Amino acid sequence: MRYHCHMSAMRYGLKVSQRTTVDELHGLWRIADDEGFEHCWIMDHFATLGGDPTGDIFEAWTLLAAMAEATSRTRIGCMVTGNTYRHPGVLAKTAVTVDHLSGGRLEFGIGASWAENEHTMFDLEFGTVGERMDRLEEACQIIRSLWMQPRTTFTGRHYRIVDAIAEPKPVQQPYPPIWIGGSGRKRTLRIVAQYADVWNAAGGDPEEIADLSAVLDQHCADVGRDPAQIRRTVQIRLPERADDALPLIEEYARVGVTEVIVIVAGGAAVQQAEQAADLLPRLRAIG
């Protein structure tokens, strides 16, 4: 199998999972900023995941605005924004605000959404997987246009925008890096090839990541894009023994992954982030 490899140093981020507190979030952001992590992430859900949806979970973009002010160096993002939760025009404006608050440190993560219960409880349209992919593709077109053009008019199956003004433009030009999360071979990776700067996989076996990366390469060829323009990234959960993450990350690096986001558990986020920070010198040697 051919692996698509990027010749660049490995980069690392921290992401906190659900059921966390404001104090814990502040502790995580401080570690990410002080210890040299390239980026720091939160998640976008309105109810906690798993068997019990009733835990505390905060709204993502409000947190990102706070992260922008609470940090000075690390880049910040949402892994990933659920497209169906917000109109793309509102999301584009919100993201630009965070990009300015952070001095141009926003990484813009977006995905098609999948948690049906969150749509049901707020009477948000859920639809089929195909419909959500269509909406994601339309949203990518709208958001990029709002960030780049003086005015935007768009008529799609799901969204309609008429002569829309979106000022100011992002600090980052032409716009913040777009991360698209997901592993659907036909639609998700095609949308990544067309619109994303970064592809993020939510974990998986390194051989599977390599296979999906090759599918992404083919989609890039089909749309006339250089696959080297799209960074390959993956999320992992920090093992009980932090050192056990090293062999897995080495395998990811071997198949072309250039960035790893380490997920730390709510309730133990600060402790696990400190363990990940202790590993950073050895992590930097990978690749």
Number of domains in the chain: 1
Q: Is residue 3 part of a domain?
A: no
Q: Is residue 124 part of a domain?
A: yes
Residue 247: its pLDDT value, please? 96
47, 115 contact by CB (below 8 A): yes
Q: Whole-model pTM?
A: 0.94
Q: Give CA separation, 261 vs 93, 158, 204, 250, in Å.
A: 26, 32, 13, 14
94, 66 contact by CB (below 8 A): no
Q: Is residue 44 part of a domain?
A: yes
Q: Is residue 1 part of a domain?
A: no
Joined together, the tokens standing for residue 224 give 């006339």
User: 């939760």: which residue's tokens?
Assistant: 85
pLDDT at 111 exceeding the cut of 80: yes
Q: 215: helix, coil or strand? A: helix
Q: Is residue 5 part of a domain?
A: no
Residue 74: its pLDDT value, please? 98
Give me the residues paired with residue 110 across strands: 81, 180
CATH number at residue 187: 3.20.20.30
Q: Is residue 152 part of a domain?
A: yes
Joined together, the tokens standing for residue 176 give 């913040």
Q: Is residue 221 part of a domain?
A: yes
According to DSSP, residue 171 is labeled: S
Domain that holds residue 223: 11-284
Cα distance between residue 60 and residue 111, in whole Å: 14
pLDDT at 235 exceeding the cut of 80: yes
Give me the residues paired with residue 237 across strands: 263
Q: Is residue 6 part of a domain?
A: no
- Residue-averaged pLDDT of the chain: 94
